[in-house]
Structure 1
Amino acid sequence: MKKSYSLLIPLLSLAFACQQNHDKEVQDLIETYRSELAPDKRVALWNIQFENDSLKGETDQIAGLGNFLAELNQQEIKYVNAVNQLPDESLGDNTKALVTISVANIRSNPKHSAELATQALMGTPLNVLKESDGWFLVQTPDGYLSWVDRAGIQLMSPEELEEWHVRPKVVYTKLTGHVWTNPAQEEMVSDVVAGDILTFEGENHNYLEVSLPDGRKGYIPSSESMLMENWLATRSTNPDQLISTAKQMLGVPYLWGGTSIKGVDCSGFTKTIYYLNGQVIPRDASQQVHEGEEVDTDKNWENLEVGDLLFFGEKATEDKKERVVHVGMWIGNNEFIHSRGRVRISSFDPNSPNFDEYELNRYLRTKRIINQKSDGVISVSELLNNE
């Protein structure tokens, strides 16, 4: 017995060492796939772990998961697949949604006290991934992943969303306003903000009859709205329209996570300017900086054009990567408009009353996204026509 026992110990040690190597091999492969499929966790999920011969976690990268499992099988690694594939099967057919309120607050975690991550306007289509106690993990058209309260959305099947897409639409164009129960404006159905999308139901003198994505009906003044096809036809990123849109928001308060007229952070402001002029750009400054063509890094302001995006932050050093923390839009005459405390105009001219030495000192680069091919920029037409 003693001899058998003495042989068992090294065998167990060898098995343990093999298991450790096995675990490391799988974990390394998980990390390789994560870096390829989901390098930015704000827009892609690859939360997978390997424990006790079991793959756990969740992902929305379904094709990538299939390739990953195939590679494990090819290497003859044994495992139990317990990875939850999103959208979660508990949603059934309700894997789509529309925002039903003027501005939906979308948060980093499923609770009202969580950080505001972004916002979405009424009529914005969403991909729905899973549910947690009345909150839904959704993906916005710019790819952002975050949580929205069920009270702010209408769940739909892909077929129901497609039916909504083909119905005639109205875009609200005034900065703020209301949907009324009748043209006499006796009772409010909902507030609305610029860019909100409603379904067109008919005309009543100087009012349009509309329906909200959750089926509520009401009226908005014709002068405060446009039929979708007319609105899209008049969207342009020409200098005059970009400046006009941006200046209409002067004084709007800074709001971390805000992307609407109710409040904007720096990248939410540039995103809103471009959205109201027909372009959907990424959510955050650190994402926007990767789009378009670089036109300046040396403060040569003569190279800039209206609509160019200026990025600010910390320059790269031997120990740290560049850190982009702020963005604004160039409006010409050595000036740019941005949201810091409130939407404001700043200047790089030392003789200007709006001279902004603080931003000048942390200037990094300028990118041009107008008329540039860029994977992260799509037209509002593509978004709303489900192309």
Structure 2
Amino acid sequence: MLRFALAVCLVLSVGPLSLQAQEAAPTERPVDAAVIERLAKQAEPDLQGRQTHLRQYVDSFRFNSANDARLCVYDVTAEPAGEKGVRLTGFVEFPETRTALEAYFHKLGFTPVENKLETLPAASLGEKRFGFIKSPHSLSYAEPAEKEIVTDCLLGESLFLLRLEDDHYLVHNGDGYLGFVAAKDILPVDEVEFAKYLEGPRVSVRKDQPEADGRTILAASRLKYVRTDGDHYVAQLPTGEEVKVPAAESDLRDTPAEKLDVVCTNAKQLLGTKYLWGGKTSSGVDCSGLVQIAYGNAGVRLPRDSTQQIHMGQLTGTRWSRAAMRRGDTLYFINPQGKISHTGLYLGDDQFIHAVSPVVRINSFNPEDKNYDQARHASFAFARRLWE
């Protein structure tokens, strides 16, 4: 079990804004008082919080208001503060979680609530909040102590860095999974370098490739394609070094523009369709139904709900960076309590299409556009890529 378990996904990023728009940060949304009261009553029906039950309250909030613990950070400790107060420490991934937890403990009758929770990514990372695996592979652990293995990260894999703890980074790996990866195996980069390396075709290695210097490029590694040299692909490592991989033992992956056109066109054909919870036809469609139709008619089967679809594909965007996103990526948004509750499809140039009441529409992340949607901008959490 990851030490931090999943939580809720929230608002406002730490550090510089995306390359795509040097825009004003979206304002933080207020919590839903009725939802907070429901969550508090699930923990204590009489709303009379007890300092001896603080761990129980933290766990109850996570269980009733969080997403998959493998995808969102929730490492929260509650301690008594005075006779009737509570002190919250640790870290969460989004400001919504931080704000909702404070309101939740207030509703349980604690006063004061000293909210010391840190939101991620940590400000101490500066602009280098991104990275790539630079060693043949590196194990990702549930804790920096390197005990329970979460997954394995391969050479060239993209990482979203969240915080540095001892000699390990807490990261989202290419699959979006959370884990602690040894700092020595990571090349930290800024947003420009991150987006540049991810742009263009990839060389996907199908067989282990021993190098002259004793290294091995392991099967399933994906590297940036540079050019073709006879019967070899020339690939670039995150460090800038070029290597040759036999074309017969690797694949060149690049999604044709035509395939992305089909997906986006499928979605646009439903513009103006009325919103219908559970619907997935031209008579009525909901958000996840729209995405399912867009990809389904292009030959890709997706699960029905946004909370299931978010597990599909490579992580390409987060609250604090959309620079590596491209059209066709699926988008995921959270409610004020931090739970994934909405999805859409990215069309490029800050535009996205989604099914929302009353009808399917195209909105923008850019405040300068007439179709800007401040609420969705504020609630955006992640983007995923189904085709490499």
Task: Compute the TM-score of the two structures, normalised by the length of structure 2.
Answer: 0.49
Pair member with larger Rg = 1
**Structure with greater proportional helix content:** 1
Considering Cα pairs closer than 8 Å and 6+ residues apart, tell me whether 1 or 2 has the greater RCO.
Answer: 2
Task: Compute the TM-score of the two structures, normalised by the length of structure 1.
Answer: 0.49
